[in-house]
Each structure stands twice: as structure tokens, then as C-alpha cells.
Amino acid sequence: MLVEGRFKTDAKISICTNLGIPTEKVHKFLDIVEKTGLNFEITTSGEAFGDKGTYVRDGLEWETFVRNFELIRNSPQIKNPIFIMGTVNAPAIDGFLGFLNWVKEQKKAAGSPGAVNYSITPVRFPTYQNLFILPMELRQQYSQEIQAYMDNPDNLKWFNEYDLVNINRFIHYVATAEVPHKEVKIGWDKNKDFDKENRTFDVDELSQDFKSFFTQFDQRRGKSFVDTYPRLANWYNSL
């Protein structure tokens, strides 16, 4: 319908994709964009570099992701900035700085801080994958390293206001979050007061859930948490 010209609009058409598809399909998509002249915007996702990213995004091939991303980034048919959404869980924080640097390099290759826009949010659920379960010492180290990276003028100049709002908020969250998320109410009793400040989370219990999940994940997917995230290995093995 698009190629035949039976659908015409001036509206922006937004597509969200993990870019895990075969590259020939990306070429086919770009051919359609060129033939139709429609205004497309691409949103994808990522939060950790290389094998640290593909571990938490099971099934994703890093080389395919990068190849498809760069193909779209270099395409004159896509005239809008590419948006990347990151959702960082406890393991992914170990590869976040590498991914942030990769985003910067993509911006540099495109020649503009606004060519790629990046938003980040911590994973809230399942609660046992939230950054909150990591030791505070580790969290503060990660936060300080990201801050030091952003304090470098050669890095900072490649991030636009949209990026910086997200990155600065995330840096603060990593170092200071005292609870993984607000209370979630199932049902409501008007006769009972709800005080979210009184909600407590059992870190030991959540940590055991974390260990149980990724133990099974490794067994079923043929992966290794400690090999992928050696910096987290001592903590993980102590659970």
C-alpha cells in the first residue's frame, strides 16, 4: 500500500525496533522509504555495550545491531534523529558506560549531537533486577565513573539537552536510590491510610531471587553471568 502510493500523509511515522532483524530487511525498508517519500522516525533500545548488552537482551546479536543502526544512521532517507531508549537493570549497569561511549561515537560519526538522542530509565520490575540490590559501594563507583566521563569536555559536547536531562537523572539515581520503586497498590481500601514511606524492601530476599533467576538463566541459555560481568562476580558468588 505504501509503495503503490495509496497511503499518503505528512505525519511522522514512528517505528520502534530492536534492530535484530536481518540486514537485508533493513535495506528493503529503506528502499520503501525512498519510494514513498514518507517521513519516518526510528526508535531502538540499548543500555550495555557488546556481550554485556546481549546477555540481558537474550537473542540480540551485537554485530547485527550495530550494522543495522549504522545503516539507518547513514541513510539519507531517514531525516529524523534516531532515538535510543535504555532500561538499565543491575547487570546492565556494568556495561552502561561502554554503551554511552558508543552512543557518543555514533553522534560523532553523524557529525551532530542531535543525530542520536538517548534516554535512560532504571528497570523497576521485577524488583530483584533493580539497581537497588547492588552494594552501595559498587553503585557509587559506577555513578562516579559515569559522572567523570560526562565531566570530560570532549565527551560532554556530543550530548544534547535531551540526553543530559536523562543522563544526569540516572547518575543521581544510581548513587542515591533508597528504594527500588514506589509502592504498587492492588485494590484500594478507602478506610486505610497508605504511607509509601513505611514500605520496606528486603535486600537479602531480593538478592536471592536475583541469584536464583540468573542461575537458571545461565543454565537455560548457555550463558555465564560471572564471565560476562567479572566486576560483579565477587558479589554474585557471595549471594
Domain CATH for 150: 3.80.30
Q: Is residue 115 part of a domain?
A: yes
Residue-level pLDDT at 5? 55
Q: Is residue 139 part of a domain?
A: yes
Average pLDDT over residues 168-178: 92
Q: Is residue 152 part of a domain?
A: yes
Q: Is residue 143 part of a domain?
A: yes
Asked if the model's pLDDT at residue 238 lies above 70, the reply is: yes
CB 82 within 8 A of CB 72: yes
d(CA 239, CA 235) in angstroms, rounded, equals: 7
Give me the domain span that covers residue 126: 12-179+202-212
d(CA 144, CA 127) in angstroms, rounded, equals: 24
Asked if the model's pLDDT at residue 87 lies above 60, the reply is: yes
For strands 82-88 and 116-122, give the pairing. parallel
Q: Dig out the grid coordinates for 79 from the structure.
A: 531525516
What are the φ/ψ torsions at residue 56 (nearest 5 degrees)?
Answer: -80, -20
Q: Is residue 161 part of a domain?
A: yes
Q: Is residue 224 part of a domain?
A: no
Residue-level pLDDT at 13? 87
Q: Is residue 217 part of a domain?
A: no
Asked if the model's pLDDT at residue 147 lies above 80, the reply is: yes
Quote the number of domains for the chain.
1
Q: Is residue 228 part of a domain?
A: no
Tell me 81's DSSP state: P
Asked if the model's pLDDT at residue 121 lies above 50, the reply is: yes
Asked if the model's pLDDT at residue 191 lies above 60, the reply is: no
Asked if the model's pLDDT at residue 37 lies above 90, the reply is: no
Asked if the model's pLDDT at residue 183 lies above 80, the reply is: no
Q: Dig out the grid coordinates for 46 from the structure.
A: 540499548
